[in-house]
Chains A and B, each alone.
Chain A
Amino acid sequence: MQHRPVKLACRGVWKIYGPDPARLLAGGARPDLATIRASHHVGAVRDATLDVGEGEIFVIMGLSGSGKSTLVRCLSRLVEPTAGEILFDGRDLLKASRAEMIAIRRHKMGMVFQHFALLPHLTVLENVAFPLEVQGVARPTREARAREVIALVGLEGREGHYPRQLSGGQQQRVGIARSLAVEPELWFLDEPFSALDPLIRREMQDEFLRVQRLLKKTIVFITHDFDEAIRLADRIAIMKDGALIQIATPEELVLSPADDYVADFTRHVARAKVVTLGRIMTPGPAAEVAGALPAHARVEAVADRIEGSPLPHAVIDEAGRVIGHVGARAVIDVLIGRRIG
């Protein structure tokens, strides 16, 4: 999964709040947490470097106050970083003029907010059409497009409702539809489901995955919920005190956490949810197989099938070549938590 072209990257991005942030970073200095605190500054983002591949769901995970929102706002330049570069399709966003930024945001970026940020005086239809309205798209065109995305998120029939007449989950569906109305290439979601009830949250996660399978956007998704991160992410970046601690696939995070802080999150995660067949297969073809399964399938999803068959299954890569095989024993090892890898 690592051979996607890079869509969005940030290099050495800092965001420091306080009386004189520039001085702390003068001459390319890289102050540590203690230095920043001692000078009465807040290091909201410290030296963040990451790449997001095209079509990837990149999740940034961390506790409240760890700097996730600030980082994603640096990526969209809602917040001006103190230092660093943000490369969007290889071009530094921080060098873009005001007018260029407006154009980029109008056509290439969409964002979903934790508290929905819907306009209270507009109907669902008008809210979703709003980003097109400010671009000056004619009413019939923008409303037709808005109806499309409203249907995509399953809100047909509610076009005439006002936000306050909708449940939290429905409001966030509007938020999602609105952010997709301009067909953005980059999709930012800042804790979109955190304000929702757990059951609704799960439903929205499924919905989100369904929409993404259709649209294949490049996504930066913020959450403080590790389970959510694991369910959705292609890759996860763990953040703490403004710094990125580890960037890895859910599987790598769980199997080899970079430090105790990350290990604390991963300890209670059921392995079967993250471990893929590629990880537990025996390389090479088997003599006789019951069927073929993709290497990136997670154990949880295919366990029943493998266990229920007396024969092993072949494991194939994305090109359909057989790269190994896996039997019931290996799956059971994962399920009961025996050491693997």
Chain B
Amino acid sequence: MRAGEGIAGAVPRAGLRGSGAWQRGAWLWGGIVAASLALAAWVGPVPVPKALTPDMAGWVSAALRWLVERADLGLFSFKELTRAIAAVIEWPYSLVRAALVDGWVEGRGSRARTILQPLSWIAVIAIVAAMGAYARSWRLGAFVGACFLYLAVFGRWESAMVTLASILIAVPIGVAGGLGLSIAAWLWPRFERALAPILDLMQTVPIFAYLVPILFLFGFGPVAALIATVIYAMPPMVRVTTLALKSVPPELGEFATMAGCTTAQRIRKVLLPAALPDLMVGVNQVIMLSLNMVIIASMIGAGGLGFDVLNALRRLDIGAGIEAGLAITALAIALDRLSQAYAARTADVPMSAGASGGWPRRHPWLSTVALVILGTALMGLVLPPVASYPAEAVITTKAFWGDLVKAINIRYFDDLEAIKTAFLTFVMLPVKRFLLALPWPWVLAVAAFAGWRLGGAPLAATGAALGAFVLATGLWEQAMTTVYLCGVAVVIAAFIGIPLGILAAANDTAGRVIGGIIDTLQTLPSFVYLIPVVMLFRVGDFAALIAVVLFALAPAVRYTAHGLRSVPPEMIEAGIVCGCTPRQVLTRIRLPLALPEILLGLNQTIMLALSMLVITALVGTRDLGQEVYIALTRADTGAGVIAGLGVAAIAIIADRLIAAGAAHARARLGLQRGTP
């Protein structure tokens, strides 16, 4: 970059100094890359000595076995504890499941007699439609109702209700638990300090890795799946709540003190209500994460739509897979829109002061819904189609989808294959070979050095220690495969996502369209992404890569657009006054100023990519995720946990390095952080 051009001319010294540092940095990292290439070419991989890879998996397995078989917590044993937890969850779950799916049945086997039918599909649709209309508008009500109607018409009703039953149990537990933990953190700073690293870890440990020990502790079945779901969906609620409680204006806290509130009054009457709009955002997240996890937890017996997908994937039944995937999509979008509408409602319209009159008049919505439930239940006794959607009227699209995909595959087989092969040969395999050929001491050294450059000695120690942990798992090769797949996916996601973000920021219409697509993509459970890629590219690294890129794209787009939009308008005006062309305004002013934000977006992209990578184990990658998946299928607790922690270690290294880099960039530009 030459100083004296465009805006740089106005601040030549700053420009020069900035580019000097850039240049030195570029030389340094260029040198490191060159050295790596040389090492990969002439030295090659170094075997990891046995002494450095202790049997950590064995220790974990033994510890868990001890917990289950021996551990005594004083009054009761650990096993009794897990049984109690399971029982506490089992009871409400079977109740909700009875209401939505099974109905109440007396007796067993052939003598079973249904006492009460489950809720009619008409009643459920009426309930969700009424919720939509109440929360926002009749349009939303109609939309949500249509989504549910889709489930009935296309024959996915029962699976969807099983999934919904799990969500209806997991979400209240997740929300209540999240609230409880963050209130405790608010009350006792020491508890908060202890909680923070645990939350970090929970958010970076891949999903499958949760499943393994839970499978071991709670066995196969819906309850184990529910527990996994709650554990997975709770941390974001804790984070959102903690942040929301902290961002209540301090004057409100002072007011609570001056009004003479006790601690309980302060929390219940002042802080929580004032934070409610933010908390509802957290509730939305818990709902969507629960859905994501409930689908995946079909591997440990959650059943429902996830099981349909899993089954179809295993049998490579294309039509069934797409159908189940679309059903999940309908459910996800309906739940997302509904909970977002509720969140917006609490922010806009405070709970309306009670109208007068009798109960039905004061609660018009509830009474209407109650009427529909009662009416359909009675009608269901005489009219079976009201009780459950008539099988004759189910439309199946399996054949259609199957044929369509077959047609695409026949028509475009060569093209698809050519793309795949070219990409594998020229991009993926070289990167993979390069990374796998690196001697591990050099990789550890680079991780530590990067930490030192960006965050000083503490970060260097973190990088080295986590790298050493990955080495000690004895899964170095799989770990480097993970790094390779994740790295390639992130680079591609950045190449697609950043330009999309620039476009979204430049043009309002484009921004709305892109935003809409990205939002929808983000509501889809990760499982769903596997379906189209398997259809088109079958199994292997390339299919996995596409799924990961699609899943991880959103933050790159969103943070870029947000970063560009939040560049202060005076700076842009200053640029225009200096005579910058629109292009120069973008490259000289907006992009550099948005850099920290873009880095944070990439960070999120990496996190999402890692979490998706683990799931792509189902389509046959050979990375750490595959290790976790294998451990899951063999119920090998130790191996699963250790491989999962390996992924977490990689995620934490990436996260810390990039966060430090973004902080650097921010400090150099003298910027404050806002949230997208």
Contacts and interface: CB of A to CB of B under 8 A. Distances in A.
Contacts of B251: 113-117
B59 interface: no
A119 B265 CA distance: 13
B353 A160 contact: yes
Interface stretch (B12-20, B269-277, B285-293, B629-637): B269-277
B274 A119 contact: yes
Given A113-B251, A115-B249, A162-B350, A121 B276 contact: yes
A121 B259 contact: no
Interface residues of A, number: 30
A120 B274 CA distance: 6
A120 B260 contact: no
B506 interface: no
Interface residues of B, number: 20
The SS class assigned to the B binding surface is helix
Interface string B500-525: 00000000000000000000000000
Given A111-B254, A114-B251, A117-B255, A102 B262 contact: yes
Contacts of B260: 102-103, 105-107, 131, 134-135
Interface string A144-167: 000000000000000010100000
Nearest to A120: B274
A109 interface: yes
A106 B259 contact: yes
A172 interface: no
Contacts, number: 66
Interface in B246-301: 249, 251-252, 254-255, 257-262, 265, 269-270, 273-274, 276
A110 interface: yes
A7 interface: no
A111 B353 contact: no
Contacts of B270: 119
A298 interface: no
B248 to A, nearest CB: 10
B75 interface: no
B51 interface: no
A243 to B, nearest CB: 24
A117 B254 contact: yes
Contacts of A123: 350, 353
A98 to B, nearest CB: 9
Contacts of B274: 119-121
A130 interface: yes
B258 A121 contact: no
A163 to B, nearest CB: 9
A131 B252 CA distance: 13
A222 to B, nearest CB: 13
Given A115-B251, A134-B265, A121 B257 contact: no
10 contacts: A78-B254, A102-B261, A102-B262, A106-B260, A117-B255, A121-B351, A131-B259, A131-B260, A134-B260, A134-B262
Given A103-B260, A105-B259, A106-B259, 7 more contacts: A110-B258, A111-B254, A116-B251, A119-B269, A120-B350, A121-B273, A134-B259
Ranked nearest first, the 9 interchain pairs of A and B with the lowest CB-CB distance are A106-B260, A117-B251, A117-B255, A131-B259, A105-B260, A121-B273, A111-B258, A113-B251, A102-B260
Interface of A: 73, 76, 78, 102-103, 105-107, 109-111, 113-117, 119-123, 130-131, 133-135, 160, 162, 179, 188
